[in-house]
Amino acid sequence: MKPSTHPIFWRDSELPYVELRQVLDGRKVTYTPHSHKEWSIGAILDGHSEFLCAGRLHQVEQGALVMMNPDQVHACNPKQDSPWAYYMMHLDKDWLASLLHESHVRDDITWIDTPMDTLLSDALYVSFVTLCDQLMSTSSMSKEKEAQLSRYLVSLFEHINTLDRQAKPRTLLPSNALYQVADYLDQSCLEDISIEAISGKFGFSTSYLVRAFKRHFNMTPHAYRLNRRVQLGQHALKKGQPIADIAQAVGFSDQAHFQRTFKQRVAATPEQYRQSRA
């Protein structure tokens, strides 16, 4: 039997800080650049793909782990004629920061971005795939799943810390007015305020704002706002709200526009995303 081309989502109401996606045949999957509010980690189970993360392009294949920081623009798509299968896990950054602090892996109680996009470690790769298999299994209780998830993340971040100490010092990106624009887009994403009006509000010409914003965030202000609306749509879908109502509530003119934009960024229809294993 051929593997399903539809993504499978796993969620557990007792573990609300983690979501898992499994794709067994992703040859026709296409992602437009997008971002998540969560910290994410994935495993390439089969095939070869191109992973674009914050403007950095990586060639990844079976055995690789990929990681994305919250709000980091990325896209991962299979190479032409290559099979492609993967697991992708999204974790609430505040829950993860608290776990790492309580486990004495990090000193900070608030979230600090991870320093790398990809990781090659046979042991951590195999352990991650085993973890994902267990999360999707119906034979394990939520408490067992939570314990294995926590153990894996502690070991993963201990390894990341070791690699980070060996790496060269990095220059932190300074804050600037573009972050104020991004925050405004976050807060007003349900309003159809023109990019021209937003540019004027912050004292930029429209052409300059679009160019500078895209260079800094790897997406235009319009794409950034659409991405935020999709994130709100994902949250509403988890609560079981009707798709047509969600489309209107998160700022789309009609359900078709919401469905099209959602699939471009999630590589699943809203209905596929709403269905999940527990």
- Radius of gyration of the CA atoms of the chain, in A: 19
Q: Are 44 and 132 within one domain?
A: yes
- Give the residue among 83, 108, 78 at the shortest CA–CA distance from 96: 108
Instruction: Classify 60 as helix, strand or coil.
Output: strand
CA–CA separation, 220 and 224 (whole Å): 6
Q: How many other β-carbons are positioned within 10 Å of the β-carbon of residue 135?
A: 25
Residue 251 falls inside a structural domain: yes
CATH of the domain at 264: 1.10.10.60
Q: What does the pLDDT read at residue 79? A: 83
Can you spell out the DSSP letters for 200-254? HHTT--HHHHHHHHHHHHSS-HHHHHHHHHHHHHHHHHHTT--HHHHHHHTT-SS
Per-residue pLDDT, 4: 62
Report pLDDT digits (tens) over 43-52: 999 998 989 9
Instruction: Check whether 176 has a pLDDT greater than 80.
Output: no
> How many of the other CB atoms lie within 10 Å of CB of 132?
24
Residue 172 forms part of a structural domain: no
Do 33 and 59 lie in one domain? The reply is yes
Beta partners for residue 148, in sequence order: none
| Section 165-182 average pLDDT | 69
Contact 77, 44 (CB under 8 A): no
Whether 207 is covered by a domain: the verdict is yes
Q: Do 110 and 196 fall within a single domain?
A: no
Cα(263)–Cα(177) distance, rounded to whole angstroms? 31
User: Is residue 159 a part of any domain in this protein?
Assistant: yes
Number of domains in the chain: 2
Of the three residues 103, 135, 166, the one that is the final residue of a domain is 166
On the CB side of 191, CA atoms within 13 Å amount to 10
pLDDT tens per residue, range 179-191: 899 999 999 999 9
The answer to whether 124 touches 156, Cβ cutoff 8 Å, is yes
What pTM was estimated for this model as a whole?
Answer: 0.84
Does 84 fall in a domain? yes
Q: Tens digit of pLDDT for each residue in 132-157?
A: 999 999 988 999 999 999 999 999 99
Can you tell me the distance from the alpha carbon of 216 to that of 246, in angstroms, rounded to the nearest whole number?
Answer: 30
Q: Which domain holds residue 14?
A: 8-166
CA distances from 169 to 7, 105, 163, 164, 166 (A): 39, 19, 12, 9, 9
